[in-house]
Copies of this chain bind each other. A is one copy, B any other.
Amino acid sequence: MEVFDRAELLSRKELEQVQLVRLRNVVSQAMRSRLYGSRLKEAGLSPDSFKSLDDVRRIPFTTKDDLRSQYPDGLNTLPTSEMVRMHASSGTTGSPTVIHYTQNDINLWADLMARSMHMVGVRREDVFQNITGYGLFTGGLGLHYGAERLGCLTIPAGPGNTARQLKFMRDFKTTVAHIIPSYALYFGAAMRDSGEDPASLALRVALIGAEPHTEETRRRIEELMDVKAYNSYGLSEMNGPGVAFECVYQNGMHVWEDAYIAEIVHPETLEPLPDGEVGELVMTTLCRQGMPILRYRTKDLTRIIPGECACGRTHRRIDRILGRADDMLIIKGVNIYPMQIEQVLMGFPEVGENYLIVLERENFIDQIRVKVEIREEHFVEDMRVLRDLQKRMVSRLRDELLITPRVDLVQHNSLPKAEGKAQRVQDNREA
């Protein structure tokens, strides 16, 4: 018997009624902050302005720059003494983006996280190995609190130290792991290299998130680690993980619409797009108390998957993140997303766990070079075989990207390894 949270059983109509009531509440709460206090007033908005859910579009967008310019507390609705947690982006330049939480916010976040994990079968009896960074990054503490709510045995392993991760997995019969996709590929390969048979482990589920990745990457993680891998979506501006999560049908991520409003807009015109069309995801917190954020431009590209999910949940699904509006590379005047390249590469069974996109400039013309690790058993002596593989890759990449990249086939383990978030693009054009 599958067990649902009460919020997951609401009809579309009930869910949208809940959203409308909460939208009015959150607008009223947001108006206590410096940013929204003035911005919503200028737009002539008050809680009463929201007669239907579509009225959400009357709210001006909030951007990362707003968060930065309002640093440190321009979005807070309550004094510091009411806050119990702060998280921050790892922003490399300027002021970091910081998020403040009340205890109520932490509790609701833990609830959403527990609901997400429960949806893919995580239960009290599970042993949960949390293989991501704790601290300011929301991924670690986010899933930690969700697992605690479910009553799992949590191993707060943190990232890295592959040998110890594997030892714990074996010795404590870990059934569920939270792991970043690029590290999952590395970990799965390292596990097999060390002679471990993943089928002999109790590991059943991998929760993967924090990095956009392709369906092919997911399938490869599932195969390497002998698990079901479920996609997790979140961002610190919306609490962290637990914003949208895949169900067992692995066909898009259910957005928890009792806690968020999701919109897809055209990245340039900012006009709403119909279900099924790819655009920028815009999110509104419906329940946040300490620091509500309205119509936040996530810069993440995805689409609403039309139709109902076989699981019966009415919460709409978003597709896996197809790229970042910011990640777009412009090469010879063509728009390219790194994800498109990954998708092509992962279609070749010969391709290993690692690749690198290098941007170069030659005679004032931008070039794209893709370095691809080839699995040991395919890295053969006969150069003709490799040359043929290389040609087929160039051809498929050209079909996808509409420009001709260079492809270097390199040996297994020869590219720099990431134990954390992978750096897939190296821009050598300035050098």
Query: Which residues of A pack against B, CB within 8 Å?
Result: 71-72, 80-81, 83-88, 96, 98, 100, 103, 106, 124-125, 127, 134-136, 140-141, 148, 151-158, 164, 168, 171-173
Contacts and interface: CB of A to CB of B under 8 A. Distances in A.
A205 B96 CA distance: 25
B158 A136 contact: yes
Identical copies of this chain, number: 2
A153 B71 contact: no
Contact of A135 (B85, B125, B158): B158
Contacts of A103: 148, 151
A171 B151 CA distance: 36
27 contacts: A72-B172, A80-B127, A83-B153, A84-B148, A84-B151, A84-B153, A85-B148, A85-B153, A85-B154, A85-B156, A86-B153, A86-B154, A86-B155, A96-B164, A100-B153, A103-B151, A106-B148, A134-B134, A134-B135, A134-B141, A134-B156, A135-B140, A135-B157, A136-B156, A136-B157, A136-B158, A141-B156
Contacts of A140: 134-135
Contacts of A87: 156
Q: Looking at chain A's contact residues, is the secondary structure mostly helix, strand, loop, or mixed?
A: mixed
Nearest to A71: B171
A86 B81 CA distance: 31
A135 B152 contact: no
Given A84-B153, A85-B148, A135-B157, 13 more contacts: A80-B127, A80-B173, A83-B153, A84-B151, A85-B156, A86-B155, A86-B172, A96-B164, A100-B153, A134-B135, A135-B156, A136-B155, A136-B156
Nearest to A164: B96
A154 to B, nearest CB: 5
A135 B153 CA distance: 14
A215 to B, nearest CB: 31
Nearest to A124: B81
Nearest to A148: B84
Specify which of A81, A135, A141 lies most central, judged by the most chain B CB atoms within 10 Å of its CB. A135
Nearest to A96: B164
Nearest to A138: B156
A377 to B, nearest CB: 35
A115 B173 CA distance: 35
A158 to B, nearest CB: 3
A330 to B, nearest CB: 32
A152 B72 contact: no
